[in-house]
Amino acid sequence: MAVPPADIFKDGLAQLVATDRDWVPKGESQSLYLRPFVYASEARFGVKVSEQYRFIIFTGPVPALYTHPIRVKVETEYIRAARGGTGFAKCGGNYGGAFYPTQKARAEGYDQVLWTRGETAPTIEESGMMNIMFVIKDKLVTPPLSDSILDGVTRDSLLQLAGELGYVTEERPVTLQELKTAFEKGWITEAFGAGTAAVVAPIRTIGMQGVDYSLPVYHSHCLQNRIKQKLENIRIGKEADNHQWNYIID
Ligand SMILES: *Cc1c(COP(=O)(O)O)cnc(C)c1O
């Protein structure tokens, strides 16, 4: 696929936001969603790499998402992304296959699916269309990046901010067995999805092989709320943007 030049990408985003500035919502945690994408646009029959591409950015205001803790179901039958596949990329083809298992989970009373990988000792991958994070024994734990896990910017930012706030962070595989033990021993105190739209999507229940495991109620000073608040403060200019994450459009 052709890669759009960096200046067209950046200038395109800036011009679109400047044009649609009146659509930027003012409320806390609301945002103007920006979705750049590229698709093959060559008019031709056949399965081959296209010689023409179109780069588009669409936008629209979105409300605060996942304000209430959600219930997720551990999925061990269907997969989101395969070893050697395209799960690491935000590639359209990754999402179609997720609808059916997600619908099934909804019919069973869950909001989202917790994807796993591997058959003998399944490990946790992602939560719906977000990266997944746990607090186990007071450490922030998240699965390591691989070809089946999307390298989310929110995951990366939250890992950095947690470290700066003095939390120990670990990027390592989390098996289902470890999760079960962590619930049984009371070691796990938080679970949440991490992604641009919601920043943090708190999880209240994890359904594993027919058993629902509950997380404690989240208070304002828990890890996920502290790092979420810090990231939002940086976004809205309440705290110094020491990492130069913001791109200001005047
Ligand atoms: C978009 C997405 C994420 C989160 O990525 P961000 O860059 O933080 O928005 C995680 N996993 C999947 C599968 C995604 O599509």
Atom 10 of ligand 1, nearest CA residue: 130
Distance of CA 16 to the CA centre of its chain: 24
CB of 130 shorter than 6 A to ligand 1: yes
> What is the whole-number distance in angstroms between the Cα of residue 129 and the centre of ligand 1?
6
The average pLDDT across 168-193 equals 98
CB of 158 shorter than 6 A to ligand 1: no
pTM greater than 0.75 (yes/no) = yes
pLDDT tens digits for 91-106? 999 999 999 999 999 9
Q: Which segments of 82-168 does DSSP mark as H helices, in order? A: 96-107, 153-164
pLDDT tens digits for 53-105? 999 999 999 988 878 999 999 999 999 999 999 999 999 999 999 999 999 99
136 band by pLDDT with thresholds 50, 70 and 90: very high
CA atoms of 202 and 133, how far apart (whole Å) = 10
CA atoms of 116 and 132, how far apart (whole Å) = 11
Atom 12 of ligand 1, nearest CA residue: 129
Q: Domains of the chain by range and CATH?
A: 6-63 (3.30.470.10), 70-235 (3.20.10.10)
CB of 146 shorter than 6 A to ligand 1: no
pLDDT of residue 87: 96
Determine contact, residues 143/132, Cβ cutoff 8 Å.
yes
CA atoms of 157 and 199, how far apart (whole Å) = 10
Q: CA angle, 34 as apex, 87 and 203 as ends, to 5°?
A: 55
207 band by pLDDT with thresholds 50, 70 and 90: very high
Give residue 101's identity as a one-letter amino acid code.
P
For a substitution probing ligand 1, which of 114, 130, 155 has the most ligand atoms within 8 Å of its CB? Answer: 130
> What is the whole-number distance in angstroms between the Cα of residue 88 and the centre of ligand 1?
9
Closest CA to 123 of 67, 187, 175: 175
> What is the whole-number distance in angstroms between the Cα of residue 192 and the centre of ligand 1?
13
Beta strand pairing status for 139-142 and 130-136? antiparallel
Q: Is the dihedral of CA 96, 102, 107, 111 positive or negative?
A: negative
